Structure 1
Amino acid sequence: MANSISVPREGHWSLGANVLFYLLIIAILSISNATAAEPKWQTLPDTPELPETTQKGFVTVDGARIWYAAYGSGDPVIMLHGGLANSNYWGHQVRELAKSFRIIVMDSRGHGRSTRDNRPLTYDLMASDVIALMKHLNASKAAIIGWSDGAIIGLKLAIRNPDQLSGLFAFGANSHPSGLYDLSDSKIFERYLKRARKEYETLSSTPGEYDDFLRQMSAMWASQPDLADKDLRSIKVPVWIADGDHEEVIRRKDTLFIADSIPASGLLLQPEVSHFSFLQDPHQFTDDVLCFLQARGVGKKASSNAGSCRAN
């Protein structure tokens, strides 16, 4: 006799059967939602807030007021954000890294709370601002953690001021404007641009000047940087060139060019993230930064798992 399944008629469900039925429905809906969820690399999580600190202020540098904040103690680590952004983007990383290092964040010239003058923005000018801030804070040498434009500034510093760098973790840098993808159809970058405008209008002392600021930044991106092979080969400080495996801004060919050109540099491709890795998977990003810093001898003590980092 064939097996059969009897379905209780209306009104004959037991309490236990009702509970199991609804649990089954919830499980099915959860699986459906998980399947429909966007992959991490297609998301743009909210910008975090920086922790509170009394170590913050402005330093006047070459026609601009540069905002900075510092956290923790130990060897200095300066975190440089990307174009159109501000230091708040490092909120997730600062909390963890400040347990072992003196973390310094700064808003690049014209960005966030920092001001600018009438001169065109350049990576060289912003790199000079970093050196001036280091002098102001009595930091003779520091490691640089840079994202996008911040990574390019880090490369400039590694070329021009090697004696003042203990290492560089450069995420999402390009060597030339040709290393950028056409972002006109990028939905995630469109969302980022809208967010950047709102954040500028909230943080800047000149909230009505965003359009002019964006024009200046666009002009810089169209002509800079121009890091030739010989420039990159001159870098002697410890460097990891990092990026997300789903990078949507920087061409992989250019990332590999930078990594291949810098002698003894490490190459790190973080899985399942994009140009906004530090927001999409902050724990992975922070762990990789810690691996870099501690494997290179930066900090109070070397990590027991520093040798397990993914860089090649």
Structure 2
Amino acid sequence: MTTTQWSAETTTPGQYADVNGVHLYYETHGTGRPMILLHGGLGSGEMFGPILPTLAEHHQVVAVDLQGHGRTADVDRPLDVTLMADDVAALIDHLGLEKPDVVGYSLGGGVALQVAIRHPEKVGRVVSASANIRRSAIYPEMLQQQGQVSGAAAEFMKDTPMYELYQRVAPRPEDFPRLLDKIGAAMAKDFDFTEEVRGLRVPTLVVAADADMAPPSHYVEVFNLLDGGLRDGGWAGEGRPAGGHALAILPGLTHYDIFLSPLFAAVTLAFLDKAN
């Protein structure tokens, strides 16, 4: 992965919205049905640079930099998917958007799910990619690696796309160790959103790589919670999940390149553009 892959190569000027005490940065690309696009941890909206033109071809894409990421400065609160989901809901109100779709990857996928859980009346459809609903689903060796993430690791990350991006765009580039501390603390916290997902009322596409941070069976489990994969779909689709949910396991990809993939863009658009 090179740093150029993480650059949007765009001259679109961004804007800020003051929501919940956060000076939240966002960029708007394209026109059409609105889509809120949420990046992964230690990234920003620029992560989607390679697929952004495809997404923006028929959609108005609002790419957000979440709390403490990219061009959005950190504030004095933990990095928590529920709080960031409330930020996104407030941004939807701020922009006057009527039930936009919400698409997120990794951290952003977790936030997208929480927007649907906490603010179902505000969103149309949701795509949650490479997001785990239980901490225990993550491979043990990955949990061990996550346990080593802290500000002390900043020096060792200077050759990574995450560090390069942060230094280039963050309002306070010196805050990178603080972001690592907060991400580390967030990843160390146990979570289980099984019951919340079971009650999800927003049509949701669960996406994962076939070699993701958790086994494919975990994403199938999420689909099961949404009434999917429990019976034959039927000739006319009558056996598909009642809530309009879907599942996509994408071949040949990992947690670290799925967000760049044309396959991810293709399944996202196919799901969002499907007639209700």
Q: TM-score range by the shorter chain?
A: 0.7 to 0.9
In structure 1, how many angstroms separate the alpha carbons of the residues matched to 2:158 and 2:7? Answer: 14
> Would you say the 8 A contact 2:2–2:161 is kept in 1?
no
In structure 1, how many angstroms separate the alpha carbons of the residues matched to 2:2 and 2:136? Answer: 25
> Would you say the 8 A contact 2:20–2:90 is kept in 1?
no
- List structure 1 segments (4+ residues) > 4 angstroms apart after TM superposition: 189-193
Aligned pair 1:252/2:216, yes or no?
Answer: yes
Aligned pair 1:123/2:81, yes or no?
Answer: yes
> Would you say the 8 A contact 2:85–2:114 is kept in 1?
yes
SS of 1:267's equivalent in the other structure is strand
- The verdict on how the C-alpha distance between 1:258 and 1:134 changes in structure 2, with shifts beyond 3 A counting, is same
Aligned pair 1:208/2:174, yes or no?
Answer: yes
Structure 1 gap segments, 5+ residues each:
1-42, 298-312
In structure 1, how many angstroms separate the alpha carbons of the residues matched to 2:253 and 2:158? Answer: 15
Letter of the 2:249 partner, please give it.
Answer: L
Aligned pair 1:292/2:271, yes or no?
Answer: yes
Structure 2 gap segments, 5+ residues each:
150-155, 228-240
Q: TM-score, normalised by structure 1?
A: 0.74
- Identify the residue that residue 278 of structure 1 maps to in structure 2: 259
> Would you say the 8 A contact 2:120–2:202 is kept in 1?
yes
Deviation readout 1:224-266 (Å, 9 max, x if unpaired): 54302x211111211111111121x223332222111123221
The 5 Å alignment of 1:65-84 reads: 65-84=23-42
Give 1:191 deviation, angstroms.
Answer: 7.7
Give 1:192 deviation, angstroms.
Answer: 10
In structure 2, how many angstroms separate the alpha carbons of the residues matched to 1:185 and 1:215? Answer: 14
Give 1:48 deviation, angstroms.
Answer: 3.1
Deviation readout 1:179-232 (Å, 9 max, x if unpaired): 22223679xx9989932122212211111111111111111112154302x211
In structure 2, how many angstroms separate the alpha carbons of the residues matched to 1:85 and 1:210? Answer: 11
- The verdict on how the C-alpha distance between 1:139 and 1:225 changes in structure 2, with shifts beyond 3 A counting, is farther
Deviation readout 1:17-62 (Å, 9 max, x if unpaired): xxxxxxxxxxxxxxxxxxxxxxxxxx668313253224x2111122
In structure 1, how many angstroms separate the alpha carbons of the residues matched to 2:187 and 2:158? Answer: 16
Letter of the 1:202 partner, please give it.
Answer: R
Give 1:278 deviation, angstroms.
Answer: 2.7
Letter of the 1:53 partner, please give it.
Answer: T
> Would you say the 8 A contact 1:151–1:169 is kept in 2?
yes
In structure 1, how many angstroms separate the alpha carbons of the residues matched to 2:158 and 2:105? Answer: 15
In structure 1, how many angstroms separate the alpha carbons of the residues matched to 2:87 and 2:275? Answer: 25
The 5 Å alignment of 1:140-179 reads: 140-179=98-137
- Pick aligned residue for 1:87 from 29, 36, 45: 45
Between structure 1 and structure 2, the one with the greater Rg is: 1
- Identify the residue that residue 249 of structure 2 maps to in structure 1: 269
- Pick aligned residue for 2:11 from 37, 45, 52: 52
Identity of aligned residues (%): 26
In structure 2, how many angstroms separate the alpha carbons of the residues matched to 1:285 and 1:140? Answer: 24
- The verdict on how the C-alpha distance between 1:178 and 1:141 changes in structure 2, with shifts beyond 3 A counting, is same
